[in-house]
Amino acid sequence: MDLVVLCKQVPDLAEELEIDSAGTDLDREWLNEVASEWDEYALEEALRLRDAVGGTVTCLALDTGSVDELLATCLARGADRAVKVGSFDERPDSHTAARAFATAVAGLAHDLVLTGVQAIDDLDGQVGPLLAATMGLPHVSVVTHIALSADGSTATVNQEYSGGVVAEFEVDLPAVLGVQTSQEAPRYAPVSRVRQLMKTAEMDAVDVAVDGGSGLVVEAMSIPEVGGRAEMIEGSPDAIAERLASLIRERGLVAGGVR
């Protein structure tokens, strides 16, 4: 089973985001980036499937000039191969990413392509279904469970809906899946190992044409007023607890009052 995982980095939301002077993008000068959370679940599922049935896991990232750590982390977690795709001066939109990945994936053995169901910056849609449509492959998004048939020709997957309801599908391979969560928490990659692999690992690179765009025109980007609604309570934890307790009591919301 040859598994391909598409990975990308996104801004670290633990830090404050700022808008650039043109007002149409994030100010990326000091932006710290982290692996997109859902891609980590996709990698974990790929590694789990490979460990169960054998085969390879190849991780792909679009080369925006700073993906060595991302790909080295994939290798440290157990991926067999890392490939940098294309060369991008700017962060590509999802449509451009899908076209670039399509070229790269077509040149690799691929029974199953896994990627995160979404990323926090998917303005023009999610890469998984765009890639699948570009390549003419079947696709399922919001996948929470993947099982392979004994002969490796199909996968049984769960697609999650609201209220905890899931649909079970049988999917012909090769296919693309957008992973919502992994069965186990993503395995740990020691930082020392990642650092070492960044120096020593051989990463492949494939050239792809970079063209197109998304067909979207960004008019303005803004940070919405947060706390515009909440009345903020200041003070020590005890002072906060005191105020909250009286707010809750005033409204008769304590045990017995509302049941």
Partner 1 sequence: MSADVFVLVEHRDGAVVEGTFELLGRARELAAAAGGEAVALLAGSGVDGLVGQLGAAGRVVVVDDPSLAEFTPTGWLAALAPIVRDRAPLLVLATNSGVGMDVAAGLSIAAGLPLAAYATAVELDDGSPLVTCQLYAGKVDVRVRFAGGRGIVTVVAGAYPVDAGRASGSPTIERLAPAATDNRVRFRRLIRPEAGDVDITRESVLVSVGRGIGEADNIALVEELAAALGGAVSSSRPVADSGWLPRTRQVGKSGLRVKPKLYLALGISGAPEHLEGMRDAGLIIAVNTDPRAPIFGVAHYGAVADLLDVVPALTKRLAG
What residues numbered 172-211 form the site for partner 1, per CB under 8 A? 172, 175, 178, 180-181, 185
d(CA 69, CA 63): 12
Judged by beta carbon, residue 166 or residue 201, the one nearer partner 1 is 166
Q: What's the closest the beta carbon of residue 228 comes to partner 1, in angstroms?
A: 6
Number of residues that bind partner 1 (CB under 8 A): 89
Judged by beta carbon, residue 68 or residue 122, the one nearer partner 1 is 122
Contacts of 127 (CB under 8 A, 6+ apart): 6, 8, 94, 97, 98, 101, 115, 119
Judged by beta carbon, residue 76 or residue 131, the one nearer partner 1 is 131
Q: Are 174 and 110 in contact (CB under 8 A)?
A: yes
Q: Which of residues 66-85 bind partner 1 (CB under 8 A)?
A: none
Task: Give the interface segment with partner 1, choosing from 44-52, 81-89, 189-197, 233-241 (CB under 8 A).
Answer: 233-241
Where does residue 201 rank: exposed (0-12), middle (13-18), buried (19+ CB within 10 A)? middle
d(CA 112, CA 176): 6
Choosing from 65, 165, 199, 200, the residue that interacts with partner 1 (CB under 8 A) is 165
- The amino acid sitting at 138 is P
Judged by beta carbon, residue 65 or residue 224, the one nearer partner 1 is 224
Interior/surface letters 88-97, b for 16+ CB within 10 angstroms, e for the rest = beebbbbbbb
Choosing from 22, 168, 191, 205, the residue that interacts with partner 1 (CB under 8 A) is 168
Q: Are 113 and 91 in contact (CB under 8 A)?
A: no
Interface map 105-134 toward partner 1 (x if CB under 8 A): ------------xx-xxxxxxx-xxx-xxx
Q: What's the closest the beta carbon of residue 117 comes to partner 1, in angstroms?
A: 8
Position 244 contacts partner 1 (CB under 8 A): yes
d(CA 111, CA 55): 10
For the CA atoms of 193, 199, 204, 208, what is the dihedral angle to 10 degrees?
Answer: 110
Q: What's the closest the beta carbon of residue 237 comes to partner 1, in angstroms?
A: 4
d(CA 170, CA 193): 38
Q: What's the closest the beta carbon of residue 196 comes to partner 1, in angstroms?
A: 29
Q: Which of residues 17-56 bind partner 1 (CB under 8 A)?
A: 17, 19, 26
Pinpoint the alpha helices (H) of 11-144. Answer: 37-53, 68-77, 94-106, 127-135
Judged by beta carbon, residue 73 or residue 141, the one nearer partner 1 is 141
Q: Which of residues 212-231 bind partner 1 (CB under 8 A)?
A: 214-231
Q: What's the closest the beta carbon of residue 163 comes to partner 1, in angstroms?
A: 6
Cα 87 to chain center, whole Å? Answer: 20
Q: What's the closest the beta carbon of residue 72 comes to partner 1, in angstroms?
A: 25
